Structure 1
Amino acid sequence: MHYLTSFITLIALAASSQFSVANERDFWLVDEFLEQHPEQQNISLTFAELVRLPATPLNTPPLKPVKIAVVYPANQISDYWRRSISSFESRLKELDIPYEIHPFLTQTPKNDSLREQAKEILTAVNSGADYLILTLYKKQHQSIIERLISNQKTKVILQNITSPIKAWDNQQPFMYVGFDHVKGSQLLADWYMDQDLENKDFGLMHYPKGYISKVRGDSFAQYTKSNSNYNLVSSYYTDSTRQNASDNANNMLIDNSNLGFIYASSTDIALGVSDAISEHKLQNKVLVNGWGGGSAELEALSQGKLDVTVMRMNDDNGVAMAEAIKLDLSGQTTQVPVIYSGDFVVVTKDSSPEKVLSLKKQAFRYSGISHQ
């Protein structure tokens, strides 16, 4: 009980501070990290090829199941998390690794507060897991993860983050795995710039303040400012829900009559912005992007409700986590890269059904095209 109290107190202190893990100088981008740690380059390339190849079963499986705790958000329209776990389990089975997965949900109606999320994570830690998979998108989560890394009893895999925290340089998590948010945002910026829109003003819908809002939102704004004549005239921080994004986009469209596009930082935000654009009857006049290219976004693209998205080769994320555990169990932990960053493809509403189907087969090779 004392440990729980001190743990929650630590989170409360972090919440009241002004420190942000997403400050430009607090983390490395993928390329920056590889420049600082050149020994990681070949390890990363070799591992990426391993992820693309068919599974090779473990020579000597462990006698007892590997215990894995997974903490992930439950309230998102995006199927990224569900697909990641599905592909992760499928690859573990192909690798002949016996396992037990214990899922823990955050951001449910019962534990939407940071304090309740901390309790949920602590429950996962106390489950006796060999590996703990969780994400980092609120600045206060850094204190939680620092505690876990220093504990060293459970190996931490940070999912959906590919930017190593500088403060952890001497003791990084077991692995960062996901898709480079900055790269994806720049691909979307390049697409918008290629359209050479008549209306140069645009709006930006942020994720809640923290890591994701920096690497998806701020990076997009900075890159666009440096490389185009587009003007950011309005931005909102959302609570990441579809309804809140729709409400904010409605206000943005009322206040700004000449927007060329609204940049959306996630699936839920994109669909909310699309709702507002439709309500104002501005389809094809004000463009909006998706972010991630999951099933909901691809369906919206096919219906003309979104104009473009950057599609993650989603299942590579789960495969990478499984292959990292295999290397660890095989005594080859040094061959696990600090970062695994998967591939992106830009998809538009004009992409042919044949192309989209081919990409779905690649991206969802384990979780299935019709996975919900």
Structure 2
Amino acid sequence: MSLFVKSLFTFTLLPTVVFAVDSSTPNLSTSGLKYWLADEVNDTKVVTQFQNVVSSNPIKINKSVGKLARIALIYPSADLSDFWIRNYHALTKRLDAMDVNYSIDEFSSRQIQHALQTRYIDEVLARQGEYDYVIYGPSELYVQADNIQRLAKSESFQSYIWAFHTPMKSWQFQPDAWFDFSSSVGAQALCDFLIQRLGSDVSFAMNRGIPGITDDQRSGDFKSCVEEEGGWINFYEHFGQYQAGGGRDGAALITQSFPEVTMLHNANTAMTLGSLEYLAEQSLIDGMYVTGWGGTAAEIEQIKQGNLNATPMRMGDDVGVATAEAIKFSLEGRTSDIPKIYLGRIEVVDDQMSTEEINARTREAFRYSGVELE
């Protein structure tokens, strides 16, 4: 089984490789990427068994474990997307359900507040010995690369990363585990769905996020797929910084300058809501096929109202539940049973589904964080 290590591990041809990988993995020498793929560092049996645990009812922690799990959670929960706060609830409620004894300190920011997250990292590292687990949802992977490695270097706690799943091959120190949904898988699923639904030769535009790995996958992979597999034509790409105002600005620029565009891609919930607000004000909703990202409660509500057409829907609580299970496994001395990269489930939800179908998916996605169904 492949293992992350917290110190430099030397191979003959790769002197700065930071964790061992399974040399039998077929993608190892052919992926050509700057980061490790999940199937290059995970043990397939471990992943399958762990996913079964995440999808099943909770099991109480071994009674012999009396240790308090001291947790620091650093994440951009002040943004409009409810992904962060929902997974906080999923994490804590799953821990409660398993009778895990824990304390948790939250360090909240917005996704564009990179410097604030650095200050939080400084504070946590200055309190060495006060935490057993540090969960970090970076504002952006490349921007926060040094901070991630600072956490990973520490021997005093386990470091878990939320909302990313791409360990960079050049890093000297790697976190203990990553918990995320695959943006590439979501982009492919959305691409396949839309080509089937809208056909070929569609004129489209994009509200992209912040230049970096997440947007490369959510937007870049989606763009490549629809262009190559559907012959779609891209008219404009606007970087909206994952903010509602950015989505609104992008929608305004696109509709005013490129009336040919009939489909608008948004790379997160905030930009989706901003673009929908503008389109509604200008009475342009009916003429634009709009997609979101993540299947958050706000997006699902917009689909039910007939404003948003489709979204790749994450089984949102999977990340929080999986992190809680990892903490439990760690407390029980079962770290080898934790995948190095955990990827939650994702499905496309659209405006042609019945309310009952959408509600069933919503109940599963938000089984711990809760949702009001109508």
Question: Does the 8 Å CA contact 2:254/2:261 hold for their aligned counterparts?
Answer: no
Q: How big is the shift at 1:62?
A: 3.8
Judged with a 3 Å threshold, the aligned counterparts in structure 2 of structure 1 residues 226 and 198 are, in CA distance, closer, same or farther, namely closer
Question: Does the 8 Å CA contact 1:198/1:260 hold for their aligned counterparts?
Answer: no
Aligned to 1:352: 354
Aligned residue among 57, 67, 71 for 2:60: 57
Aligned to 1:182: 184
Q: How big is the shift at 1:258?
A: 0.9
Aligned residue among 258, 271, 291 for 1:256: 258
Aligned equivalents of 2:35, 2:321: Cα separation in 1 = 25
Question: Does the 8 Å CA contact 1:79/1:295 hold for their aligned counterparts?
Answer: yes
Aligned equivalents of 1:266, 1:291: Cα separation in 2 = 5
Q: How big is the shift at 1:125?
A: 3.4
Matched, 1:233 2:230: no
Aligned to 2:110: 107
Matched, 1:79 2:82: yes
* Equivalent position SS for 2:159: strand
Matched, 1:25 2:27: no
Matched, 1:44 2:47: yes
Aligned equivalents of 1:198, 1:277: Cα separation in 2 = 24
Q: How big is the shift at 1:117?
A: 2.3
Question: Could you give the per-residue CA deviations for residues 181-225 of structure 1, whole angstroms, max 9, x where no partner exists?
Answer: 111111111122112358621101111112211121111112222
Q: How big is the shift at 1:260?
A: 2.0
Aligned equivalents of 1:225, 1:164: Cα separation in 2 = 28
Taking only aligned residues, the RMSD between alpha carbons, in angstroms, comes to: 2.1
Structure 2: state its 5+ residue gaps.
1-31
Aligned to 1:11: none
Matched, 1:210 2:218: no
Judged with a 3 Å threshold, the aligned counterparts in structure 2 of structure 1 residues 273 and 29 are, in CA distance, closer, same or farther, namely farther
Question: Does the 8 Å CA contact 2:77/2:85 hold for their aligned counterparts?
Answer: no
Q: Name the count of aligned residue pairs.
A: 340
Identity of aligned residues (%): 27
Aligned equivalents of 1:193, 1:61: Cα separation in 2 = 54
* Equivalent position SS for 1:97: coil
Query: In the alignment, residue 102 of structure 1 is paired with which amino acid?
Result: D
Q: How big is the shift at 1:171?
A: 4.5
Aligned equivalents of 2:300, 2:233: Cα separation in 1 = 28
Matched, 1:159 2:165: no
Matched, 1:118 2:118: yes
Q: How big is the shift at 1:138?
A: 4.3
* Equivalent position SS for 1:25: coil
Question: Could you give the per-residue CA deviations for residues 58-104 of structure 1, whole angstroms, max 9, x where no partner exists?
Answer: 11354342100001113322211111011111111122210001000
Aligned equivalents of 1:201, 1:146: Cα separation in 2 = 42
Query: In the alignment, residue 122 of structure 2 is paired with which amino acid?
Result: L
Q: How big is the shift at 1:365?
A: 1.1
Aligned to 1:3: none
Judged with a 3 Å threshold, the aligned counterparts in structure 2 of structure 1 residues 61 and 287 are, in CA distance, closer, same or farther, namely farther
Aligned to 2:338: 336
Which moved further from structure 2: 149-158 or 56-65? 56-65
Question: Could you give the per-residue CA deviations for residues 301-353 of structure 1, whole angstroms, max 9, x where no partner exists?
Answer: 11111000111111111110011111111111111110111111211112111
Query: In the alignment, residue 126 of structure 2 is paired with which amino acid?
Result: N
Aligned equivalents of 1:126, 1:225: Cα separation in 2 = 49
Query: In the alignment, residue 359 of structure 1 is paired with which amino acid?
Result: R
Judged with a 3 Å threshold, the aligned counterparts in structure 2 of structure 1 residues 66 and 46 are, in CA distance, closer, same or farther, namely same
Aligned equivalents of 2:89, 2:150: Cα separation in 1 = 28
In terms of fraction of residues, the more helix-rich structure is: 1
* Equivalent position SS for 2:286: coil
Aligned to 1:244: 246
Query: In the alignment, residue 25 of structure 1 is paired with which amino acid?
Result: L
